[in-house]
Amino acid sequence: MSRVYNFSAGPSMLAEWVLNQAASQMLEYGNSGQSVMEMSHRSAEFKAIITECEQRLRRVMGIPDHYRVLFLQGGASLQFTMIPMNLLVKGHADVIHTGQWSKKAIAELNKIGRAEILASSEDATFSYIPDVDKLTYHEDADYVYICENNTIYGTKYKKLPQTGNVPLVADLSSCILSEPIDVSKYGLIFAGAQKNMGPAGLTVVIIREDLIGHAKSDTPSMLNYQIMADQESMFNTPPTYAIYICNLVLQWIEEVIGGLDEIQKRNTQKANLLYNFLDQSHLFSNPVNPKDRSLMNVTFVTGNEELDAQFIKEAKANGLINVKGHRSVGGMRASIYNAMPLAGVEKLVDVMKQFELNHH
Amino acid sequence: MSRVYNFSAGPSMLAEWVLNQAASQMLEYGNSGQSVMEMSHRSAEFKAIITECEQRLRRVMGIPDHYRVLFLQGGASLQFTMIPMNLLVKGHADVIHTGQWSKKAIAELNKIGRAEILASSEDATFSYIPDVDKLTYHEDADYVYICENNTIYGTKYKKLPQTGNVPLVADLSSCILSEPIDVSKYGLIFAGAQKNMGPAGLTVVIIREDLIGHAKSDTPSMLNYQIMADQESMFNTPPTYAIYICNLVLQWIEEVIGGLDEIQKRNTQKANLLYNFLDQSHLFSNPVNPKDRSLMNVTFVTGNEELDAQFIKEAKANGLINVKGHRSVGGMRASIYNAMPLAGVEKLVDVMKQFELNHH
């Protein structure tokens, strides 16, 4: 077996510790006589798993008691619909537009209510985050919406909008669990699991209790946070195996790594290694406003499409896969989520150094 | 390791062949250097898996070319909303009401349009299927809706409604892949995967092409069959690992078992063993109209709640788990999906025989 370093934007790497646990428990979990995949979601065995998963997430992220944790399906894309369906009362929300994912969120929001776009970084191919202190938020907005880490462009909010009494709703799909955060600053956090939490097919929503219960009566049951919260994510069969893997990922963060402070330290070390190399390189450069750089997704270009393609090919030959940038921006992207080891980033930098020597 | 016989209504047993494949490929799929769980859904490796899964399903079920296969999320429960959102044009559909799952489908349909209930078996605790030949279907209905196998009560349609030009929409969650069917008799078939297809978190929709494209323009993208079909189930990240397991289940049916004719033969043998025992038992009985008996879910009672509870306990002590009936009807239920071996049903009958000797 020869495992590659997978720089995919997601789904992406999982810790080998997690995969080894999953492999060894595939035919029998504990003494249950069954795989987790075979367990009735109403069984005591599975209820213990989903409860443990929620408790771990609460401990690891420091989620206050007046927030509910929901395990849902449909990815961030379904949240683009569920959020306005559940949170719009006055009918409009403020949005800061920082790329393709906020664009999709705006499109879905506008089917249900009205998005007021406070700022956009589209003028510079979303290579920066607008200054959140210079914006005028609507006091009567139902919420303010941001995509906190922009996977495609490699940008991240380093400061959150100060929205007063208006709840902040944030898509943390590609930065959740990458560093400690203050959950109490948000009204609602959501994330697709397939980057830092586990496999695709699970969406985690962390929602302040007072934001639950405002959906219209004709809201489809599956899209109503109230029903999902009342039924503790068991209104219907939840994605049981994905929840089990998420629990293993959280166990790895908590018990093997030692929590989010340590995760942040490691992630910072990995990102610094890459950004420091890029900043002194004569061939490669990072197109993002330095103060808005993502800790998770590092974009870079040579400025020459042929060279880019050649580098992507050489990286792959060296066991570094999925370093191709998103089709909408081109170039390269290294997604260095929690499970990417430092050794993977070191190898990437080595391959970049050699490539620079050969092509400069 | 001591694996149990799991009679859960779903999620339920998977073939050990499937679990062994999944365990052995957990850290590396083929020579890809990665787990399927880590694969980018846009990678060539994963595209090969989802393509193979669709092709196998088409071969195994004999799905005609003018039907599309969609791999979605949200279970049958989200289909209760997606179906009316996409298929209602005139605004109403005929429904035959055969239990809790059709009840939920009716409730969601009525949020979007109007359900015309043609018949109901609620008068006898859903222990039979209404005679579909005696019903008057509305010629102007957008579709006729049935739940073909009723997991909770152990009933199944042995004859489909003859709906003329009106498309038949059927929930096959608990009977798909249990026997050969003629897909061309349906307009739309849907099934949650967690009974006969794989893990929870994957929903398969098989839809006749002409039924795609009728959703209103403000339909959320994630709930629009047209978008899902145009993007080949890749509008957003699909539940990749669940699709991979579904492909393994289909490979097991096709290559290990030998297809749906053989599956049907085995399922009939298992069900007959159980029903024949029940029909001659002086203690246990099956409450379902004999001609409407399910091949997948066999319900039975002693007529005494204390004895029922005692039997469930003794079954568990013998490694036969989840034989408790649904809370809404009580008694016992043995769900004997494709992956339940004959030996499991034989053991169940043995335990029932012994229990009858001890308590009669």
**Separation CA B112–CA B130 (nearest Å):** 26
Q: Which of B256, B286, B308 is the last residue of a domain?
A: B256
pLDDT greater than 70 at residue A1: no
Nearest Cα of chain B lies from the Cα of A188 at a distance, in angstroms, of 20
- Report the Cα B220 to chain-centroid distance in Å: 26
ipTM (interface predicted TM): 0.98
Does residue B278 share a domain with residue B234? Answer: no
Taking an 8 Å cut-off on Cβ atoms, the answer to whether A321 and B33 are in contact is yes
Does residue A324 share a domain with residue A288? Answer: yes
Does residue A81 share a domain with residue A42? Answer: yes
Does residue B290 share a domain with residue B208? Answer: no
Give the model confidence (pLDDT) of A265-300 as tens digits.
999 999 999 999 999 999 999 999 999 999 999 999
Does residue A274 share a domain with residue A241? Answer: no
Does residue B94 share a domain with residue B234? Answer: yes
Counted domains in chain B: 2
Nearest to B238 among A27, A34, A200 (CB): A200
Order of all β-strands in the sheet with B92-97: B67-72, B203-208, B188-192, B168-171, B144-147, B92-97, B114-120
Q: Is B7 a domain residue?
A: no
Q: Quote the DSSP letter at residue A279.
A: H
The full DSSP string for B166-179 is SPEEEE-TTTTTSS
Does residue A179 share a domain with residue A153? Answer: yes
Q: Is A194 a domain residue?
A: yes
Nearest to A226 by CA among A240, A205, A198, A241: A205
Nearest to B34 by CA among A350, A252, A16, A36: A16
Taking an 8 Å cut-off on Cβ atoms, the answer to whether A239 and B239 are in contact is yes
Q: Is B9 a domain residue?
A: no
pLDDT greater than 70 at residue A173: yes
- Write out the two tokens for A196: 């830092």
Does residue B300 share a domain with residue B213? Answer: no
Q: Please tell me which residue in B94, B142, B156, B171 is annotated as part of the active site.
A: B171
Query: Tell me, what CATH number does B227's domain have?
Result: 3.40.640.10
Q: Which of residues 98-117 of A touch B (CB under 8 A)?
A: 104, 107-108, 111-112
Nearest to B26 among A11, A22, A237 (CB): A22
**Phi, psi torsion values for B277, nearest 5 degrees:** -65, -45
Which residue(s) pair with B69 in the sheet? B206
Question: Can you give the pLDDT at residue B2?
Answer: 85
Q: Is B107 a domain residue?
A: yes
Top residue of A24, A34, A196, A246 to mutate, by most chain B CBs within 10 Å, is A34
Q: Which of A214, A238, A256 is the last residue of a domain?
A: A256
**pLDDT band at residue A301 under the 50/70/90 scheme:** very high
Contact A211, A224 (CB under 8 A): no
Reduced to 3 states, what is the DSSP secondary structure of residue B295? Answer: coil
Tens digit of pLDDT at every position of chain B (360 positions): 689 999 999 999 999 999 999 999 999 999 999 999 999 999 999 999 999 999 999 999 999 999 999 999 999 999 999 999 999 999 999 999 999 999 999 999 999 999 999 999 999 999 999 999 999 999 999 999 999 999 999 999 999 999 999 999 999 999 999 999 999 999 999 999 999 999 999 999 999 999 999 999 999 999 999 999 999 999 999 999 999 999 999 999 999 999 999 999 999 999 999 999 999 999 999 999 999 999 999 999 999 999 999 999 999 999 999 999 999 999 999 999 999 999 999 999 999 999 999 997
Q: Give the C-alpha distances (Å, rounded to integers) separating B254 from B55, B178, B196, B207, B247.
A: 12, 13, 14, 22, 10
Each residue of B115-135: b (16+ CB within 10 Å) or e?
Answer: bbebbbbeeeebbbbbebeee
Q: Cis omega before residue B287 (within 30°)?
A: no
- Write out the two tokens for B158: 């042995």
Q: Which amino acid is at B239?
A: P
Top residue of B25, B34, B245, B338 to mutate, by most chain A CBs within 10 Å, is B34
Nearest to A211 by CA among A175, A178, A170, A266: A170
Q: Are strands A92-97 and A67-72 parallel, antiparallel or unpaired?
A: unpaired
**Separation CA A273–CA A285 (nearest Å):** 14
Q: What is the mean pLDDT of residues A27-41?
A: 97
Q: Is A99 a domain residue?
A: yes
Does residue B184 share a domain with residue B331? Answer: no
Q: Is A11 a domain residue?
A: no
Nearest Cα of chain B lies from the Cα of A350 at a distance, in angstroms, of 20
**Separation CA A241–CA A184 (nearest Å):** 29
Nearest CA in chain A to B223: A78
Q: Which amino acid is at B51?
A: T
pTM for the predicted model, two decimal places = 0.98
Q: Which of A215, A241, A256 is the last residue of a domain?
A: A256
Nearest CA in chain A to B112: A218
Q: Is A100 a domain residue?
A: yes
**Phi, psi torsion values for B210, nearest 5 degrees:** -70, -10
Q: How much is the mean pLDDT over chain A? A: 97
Does residue B191 share a domain with residue B116? Answer: yes
Question: Can you give the pLDDT at residue B134?
Answer: 96
**pLDDT band at residue A360 under the 50/70/90 scheme:** confident
Question: Can you give the pLDDT at residue B1?
Answer: 66
Query: Tell me, what CATH number does B315's domain have?
Result: 3.90.1150.10
User: Measured between beta carbons, which residues in chain A are less than 8 angstroms from residue B239?
Assistant: 73, 199-201, 239, 242
Give the model confidence (pLDDT) of A129-167 as tens digits.
999 999 999 999 999 999 999 999 999 999 999 999 999
Quote the domain boundaries for residue A341. 259-358
Q: Is A201 a domain residue?
A: yes
- Write out the two tokens for A182: 């203050």
Does residue A273 share a domain with residue A236? Answer: no
Q: Any idea which residues of A carry the catalytic annotation?
A: 101, 171, 195
Does residue B209 share a domain with residue B307? Answer: no
